[in-house]
Structures are given as C-alpha cells and as structure tokens.
Amino acid sequence: MEKIIDRFLRYVAVDTQSDENSESQPSTAKQLNLLAMLKDELTAMGVEAVLDEYGYVMASIPSNIEAKVPAIGFIAHVDTAPDASGANVKPQIIDEYDGGDIPLKGVPGLALKPSDFPEMLHYVGQTLITTDGTTLLGADDKAGVAEIMDAVQYIMEHPEYKHGDIKIGFTPDEEIGRGVVKFDVGKFGADYAYTMDGGEIGELEFENFNAASAKIRIQGRNVHPGSAKGKMRNAILIAMELNSLLPVEQRPEYTEGYEGFFHLIGISGSVEEASISYIIRDHNRKLFENKKDTIQRCCDFINMKYGEGTATPTVKDQYYNMREKVEPHYIVVEKAVKAMEMAGIKPKIQPIRGGTDGANLSFKGLPCPNIFAGGLNFHGKMEFVPTQSIEKASEVILNLISLFAE
C-alpha cells in the first residue's frame, strides 16, 4: 500500500485553488487535474468511478455482506481557498516536533510559533507537516482526500474486510460556497455520509452557521471640492458611516462558540460610488434573520439621511445550519463517536464556526456530519497538519464502515 503521507504530499503538489469570481463549474480548470487523477487512481484499484461534467468524482464499492445495511458515503473537496496561493507548495516535514518555533524557510524571519498558536504544543513528539511560508499547505481538504483514498485502498486490498455499500465523492469549489450546487444526491446513492473536512483530531460537527452574503452599493454625488459645500456626498465616507452602525461586539474578532457575526470583507470605491461587502453568520436561525434585517435597517437609515437610493443592499443566503436535518438521524453522530473511541480518540463535538459541503448535502436529503481531517490554521501560510492525525482519520473511516456493517 502507498503510505498515506506520501499520498497526501502528492495531492498538495497539485494546484487546485478555486476562484470566487469565476462563473464556470468547476470555477477553475486546474481542479480537474486532481479530480481526474483521483478518478484514475480509484479505477486502478478496481473501484467503479466516474468524473462528470461538473467536476464531481463519484465512486462505489459494492457490499460484500448479505445483510441489508445503510450505504455510507465519504466526501472531501479538492479545491484550496482563494485566500492564499496553492501553487508550488513546498511542505516542510518536522520529525519529533520539540515544542519550539518552526522557521518557515521560504520567507526569512517567518516562523510558526507556539506563542501565537498554543495548540501546536498538543503535538509535541509527533511529525508535523507545515508550509514553507510562501503558500498555504492544502490540508483543507487534501488531508480528507488522502484519508478517504487510503481507506479505499485498504478495503480493496483486504477482501476479508466486511462492509456494506460504500460511496465516495470528491467535489470542487467548496471553498467558494459552490461545492455541491449540482451534486446529485440520488445518483450518489448513500443513505448517510460524512465530510472529512474538519480541523484537529477528534473534531465532530453536526451543526454549523447559517450563512449569507451582503453587498451594499453606495451612490454618492461628486462635485468639485472647491464648491462642494452642501452638495457633495462622498460615497466612501457614507460606506464607513454605514459600517459604524453595525454592532462592534458582533465582529468575528470578538466572537466565539455559538456567537454570530457581521464580517466586513471588502470596501472599495470613489466619491461617486462605493461598494461594501459582508458575510453574515449565526447558528441560531432567528438571530440570523435578525442580522439580515439589521443590514436592511442600516440601509434604511442611510437612505433616510441622504436620500432614497443612496444605499442599495443585495443579501443572498448561502447555506443553513445542518443540525435540523442531522438530528432526526442521530445515529450518524453516535456511530462517529464510537468510531473515534475505537481509534483511541476522545471526540470533541462542537459547532462549526463556518460551513461545509455537508450542510448543503443535509438540506438535499443526505444527512452529513463533518469529521476531523487533522489540519490546523487553514487558509493561510501558517497551516500545518500532524501526520498521526491523518493516519487516525483513515482509521476512523474504516471503523465507521465496520460499525454500519454490524
């Protein structure tokens, strides 16, 4: 068998960054390079696999037991976040991590430090894979991809391993919120599924944020500054004023746990016209709707003060909290807890302060909690992953399949 870490390192070498400004599916053609590789590798293992026109790889391993048991799916996304480059990734392998700072040698003076990231100390004595400081690593979610593929390889090479129907899915564009927009749950054929897309070892999540985006167009009025008194309306300043109306304590840097937020992600423009963009998040659906109403009320105030049409909001829902869809099928959570305990892992059930493909899949009728993939500090050059966490995640997958086959 190919070692799981070698497999992971092969996958992170492929640039698969998605592009939120693209309208195509997948958003970048380069994601298809890894998707096609995965399809070919599955086929070479003897697994029936297809890659469709939308960039979805779907594969199926038939049951080898007589009992009728649920078909279980495992899903991971191949794309990396637009936040940092995913090209020419140069991983650093730190054997027997000693608890000190880790220089990121691609950028002089840059280091991964426990003083900044104290969770590093949880992994003293283990092998860590880091970036070199010039790119992200890609453990989100190529660790999940490697874990699923490692489990598939084990199953195909051990015919004595008993299992029901197993479904495998690899998706593009999760990082830009479009991972399963065209994913055909019926065609996939699973009764329950798991995304292998969580963070550090032990994480198990079946509730996530309700999410929306908000983009507000500010229409100003430009007049020569020498004669602007009583006439000019500076759209940039109005945008700043609108932002000041939102509650400061509900910014991401002041929230945790179940607390939601308004996150200012972009502001641009000129005196004549400006644009201001937010993401809106809350686990509680009522509070989520209230936050969207708050955006509208802020715009209403600006329009009352400066004239109708000054602030025009466009608010779009992105995904919803999967808890309401997963809880009626709580067996999927119970089995995941037991699978982790069998692997000697203490489960940490917690809400996702974000979203996964599993949220949208759950609302498509496929209950789909999220299991750790092992990485930390996703979406940036400080990303790292302990190799033992990747190995344990693959073990959890195999334990889950066995539990559902009982």
Note whether 4-207+321-405 and 211-318 share their fold: no
Active site residue 79: yes
End-to-end CA gap in the chain? 26
Instruction: Give which of 92, 69, 340, 57 is closest to 183, Cα–Cα.
Output: 57
Average pLDDT of every residue of the chain = 97
CA 232 to each of CA 5, 18, 87, 298, 310: distance values in angstroms, whole numbers, following the listed order:
61, 40, 46, 21, 13
211-318: CATH number: 3.30.70.360
How many CA atoms are closer than 13 Å to the CA of 95, on its beta-carbon side? 0
pLDDT at residue 256, as a whole number: 94
Residues of the chain with pLDDT under 70: 1
pLDDT tens per residue across span 236-281: 999 999 999 999 999 999 999 999 999 999 999 999 999 999 999 9
CA 372 to each of CA 191, 210, 273, 320, 352: distance values in angstroms, whole numbers, following the listed order:
21, 20, 44, 20, 11
pLDDT at residue 355, as a whole number: 81
Strands (E), 310-378: 311-319, 348-349, 370-372
pLDDT at residue 213, as a whole number: 94
pLDDT at residue 168, as a whole number: 98
Q: Given the residues 41, 150, 174, 205, select the one marked as catalytic.
A: 174
pLDDT tens per residue across span 343-399: 999 999 999 888 889 999 999 999 999 999 999 999 999 999 999 999 999 999 999
138: its two tokens: 């890609």
Please answer whether residues 362 and 190 qualify as being in contact, where contact means their C-beta atoms are separated by less than 8 angstroms: no
pLDDT at residue 238, as a whole number: 98
Instruction: Give which of 314, 313, 369, 324 is closest to 197, Cα–Cα.
Output: 369
pLDDT at residue 174, as a whole number: 94
Domain boundaries, the chain: 4-207+321-405, 211-318
What percent helix, strand, coil does the chain show, rounded to 5? 35, 25, 40
Q: Given the residues 79, 147, 175, 357, select the one marked as catalytic.
A: 79
CA angle 153/154/158 to nearest 5° reads 120
pLDDT at residue 177, as a whole number: 85
How many CA atoms are closer than 13 Å to the CA of 363, on its beta-carbon side? 15
Query: What pTM value is reported for the model?
Result: 0.89
Active site residue 160: no
The domain made up of 4-207+321-405 is a member of CATH 3.40.50.11540: no
